[in-house]
Amino acid sequence: MCNYLAMKIDKQGQAVVPSDPSQLAIIFRLDRRSGVPTYLQLVHQVEHSVRLGYLNLGDQLPRVKDVVSSLTINPNTVLKAYRCLEQKGLISARPGQGTFVSASVKTIAAEDLDLLRQSLITGWLQEAAALALDEEQTIGIFMSALRDSFEVSSNSEEFRSRRALDSKQKEVS
């Protein structure tokens, strides 16, 4: 069973639950069957939202009491997630005001992300569904391919670096 906290973080610092889900800046989702601790699920979701540009520098996170009441979880769980994010330098708490995103990362335009997401859905994920892969199998294959892709990328960079170094050494000789 998944619980959802759908909140739009408006720029005036008020957390409101919008009637239109397309207006959401962040959606907290809990998957109690995943085996991932609740606080880590919240941490990962904020990290992903910052990386994807859904949360920007200065945006306010939902208040602890709003997360607690919407997801029916212990306040200490939310506080632990926020503490972890603060230690990572992604957020900062301002006493009496709330918790705010304090880091920004290079993001890709929303239109480009949407195109990439749509191509994944209409391409690879449709093929996985046609093969009747369940969610866990699909995630497993995707994560394996993602790791392989990064490994190939880093090996290519390493190869290019060694090649450039070899070229410089030949020039010196």
Domain spans of the chain, in order of start: 2-101, 110-172
Q: Residue 155's pLDDT is what?
A: 64
Q: Residue 156's pLDDT is what?
A: 60
DSSP letters for 98-124: EEEE--------HHHHHHHHHHHIIII
Q: Class of 2-101 per CATH?
A: mainly alpha
Phi and psi, residue 19, nearest 5°:
-80, -25
Phi and psi, residue 92, nearest 5°:
-145, 140
One digit per residue, the tens of pLDDT, for the chain of length 173 reads 444 444 443 333 334 444 444 444 577 889 988 899 999 999 999 998 888 888 889 899 999 998 998 899 999 999 999 999 999 999 999 999 999 999 877 767 778 878 888 999 999 999 999 999 998 899 888 888 888 887 776 666 555 555 555 555 555 55
